[in-house]
Structures are given as C-alpha cells and as structure tokens.
Structure 1
Amino acid sequence: MRKIRKMDHNETGCQAPDRPILCVNNCGFFGSATTRNMCSKCHKEAVLKEQHANIAASSIENIVNGRSSKSKETLITGAIDVNPGPTEAEVVLSSNSTAGQTSETKKRGPSRCTTCGKRVGLTGFSCRCGNIFCAAHRYSEKHDCPFDYRAAAQTAIAKANPIIKAEKLDKI
C-alpha cells in the first residue's frame, strides 16, 4: 500500500525541490515557484508595481482617447438621475477644506481639558458641545455644557416614533 501512495505522489508531480531556491532579487530570503521564485516581500512589491503600471497605462490610454472612465460614469448617471451629485470641482473644494481642518487640529498639540487645562491625552472625554474634558469635568453639570440634551432627546424620539393618525369613522 505504501508503493501505491508513492506512485500517487509521483504522478501528481507535487515534489518539493531538492534544495531551497533563493529569491530572484538576491535579497537573501528563499523563494517559491508559486511566487515566481521570489520571497513574499519581493513578490508583493512586484505585484504592486504591475498594478501601478496597469493603472498608469489605462489612464494614459483614457487621456489619449479624450475621456476618462469617471466622465463616462458621470454621463451615464447624469442621464438616469435628475439631480446629479456634486461636481468634481465641489469635491476638490470640500476635500481641500477638510485637509485644512485636519492640519489645524494636528497643530493644536496635546489635548487638554477645556475647563482646567489638564493634559488628557487619549483618556479625554469628548462632550456633545465639542470640547474635550478630563475625568473630573466630563459630566455636563460639571462644565456648564451649553448643549441642550433635552431638546436633542425630544427630536430623536420624535424621529423614531412618527405620529400615526387614523381617519375618523362615520357614525352609523
């Protein structure tokens, strides 16, 4: 029975190489036949380079043809939708404004409690009023929060539970 198993193993051709194969890029690691005789790191980099080359080639082809794939999609969706979404210029402007906001928050430095100025770091509590507080001032009554929790809860309940009004019944 062992002879049969050896024959099956030989018939499939799934034999391991006699000795390990070094990576084609000579990085010092071992490669395999499934990764084109490259180590996993070099194979991943090669695949990424191929993908970037394919994207660049397709974008150059689209520029030469006069249309990009995005403009084709907007033409199709524009024909279907009566009110199309924001234009590319609006998207660029909104992305620039968000980039400016994130850079301002990074420049601010370590986060501190708005009330006492204590450094809070990652343990800070953000309130609905938009400020960050330490453990002592995290509750709304401790820092005189201007946020109206009652009105917010009322609107949330009103949205969650719409009023259902039945028609009046005729008297017999």
Structure 2
Amino acid sequence: MSQASQSENGQPSLCVAGCGFFSNIGTNGMCSKCHRDTQKAEQESAKAQQNLAQAAQLVRNAQQCTPAPPAPAPSSSPSSPAAQTVHEQQQQQHASTTAAAAAVAVEAAKPTTSSSAPEASSSAPAQPSASSSSATPPSKPPSTTRCLVCSKKVGLTGFNCKCNPDAVFCSAHRLAEAHDCTFDYKTSQRQLLAERNPVVQGAKVEKLG
C-alpha cells in the first residue's frame, strides 16, 4: 500500500526525506527533525547570499570613492634662468650649513678626546692588581650538606670521618676504603689502648746471693 493511500485512510505516512520516521501534515510531509534541518539550511543559504551582496556593494562603494590619479604637473622649462639661480643658491646655502655644523662637531669632540686620555692612563695601573687577585682564588671549604665523593645531598644524615672533620660522607662512602681515607686507625687505637690500660707489673725482687 502506498504512502498516499495510507494518509487517505487516516494512517500516518513516512517522512518524504526518507529518514524512516513518520511525517506530519504541518511540516510539509516531513518529520520534525528533517523539517528543522531543512529550515536551518535555507536560513544559512539566505544569510550567505546576503553576505555576498553586502561584500559586492562594499567593493562598488570603494571603487566609486577611490580618487582619480592626479594629472602630471607641467614640467618647468629647463632653460628658465630664474629657477636655476634659486636652485643654485639653495645648494650653496645647504653646503655652507653642513660645513659649519661639521666644524662645530670637530671642535666639540676635541676636549672629550683629551680628557678621556688621562682617564685611560690612570685606569691602566689598576689592572695588574685585579689580575693578581684573580690569580689566587680563595680555597672553597668543603660542603657540610653534600657527600665529598659523590656530591649527594645528605643533610643531617651525613657521616663524618677523622681524615677530614669538615667534610661529610653518604652511607655508601662512609667507610674508610670507600673514600680513600688517610687516617691510621690502627696506630690511633693502639695509642688509645696504651693510655687507658697502663702496664701492671710487680716490683722486682732481688735474689739473695
């Protein structure tokens, strides 16, 4: 049964756009969604045509408002003596002004050159002292927050060693063989034991003859 016969019998017909939904009499035989899309497309097309018309009108207005190029000025006669005389006078005046300005600039530059020479000579003896001070940089004390071997930041958890009391070591380099320790622990411990444990020895008994 066709869509026309279905609508005549009072049954709903399908959308003429072929989307599969039922149509409505008030939307020109389309469903509500297809009807909205069609209206939106028509509005956008009308807006685009309006924008094109406005752009064309602006181009026409700009072409009408563009002034015509000015007519070339009539060339002055090269043989007129009055024009040549005025031009020569202007050139001579400009040359004299330039020469006067150059002379003033030379005179102004002379005192500056003479005054800068003593300053350069006076600053010359100060250079050896600066070079001598830079030749002997102060020794940098070892850091108390970084390991002396690997420069790892240890903070308050560092370990001290008797070979360098001002330096600290991390847990990996705290042992003597890990940081090439130069302190003789063997001799130090022997001296400490000798001081704390004096020799206990009885008095010698003289043998009777």
Which TM-score tier does this pair reach, normalised by the shorter chain? Answer: 0.3 to 0.5
Greater Rg by CA: 2
Normalised by the length of structure 1, the TM-score is 0.35
Normalised by the length of structure 2, the TM-score is 0.29
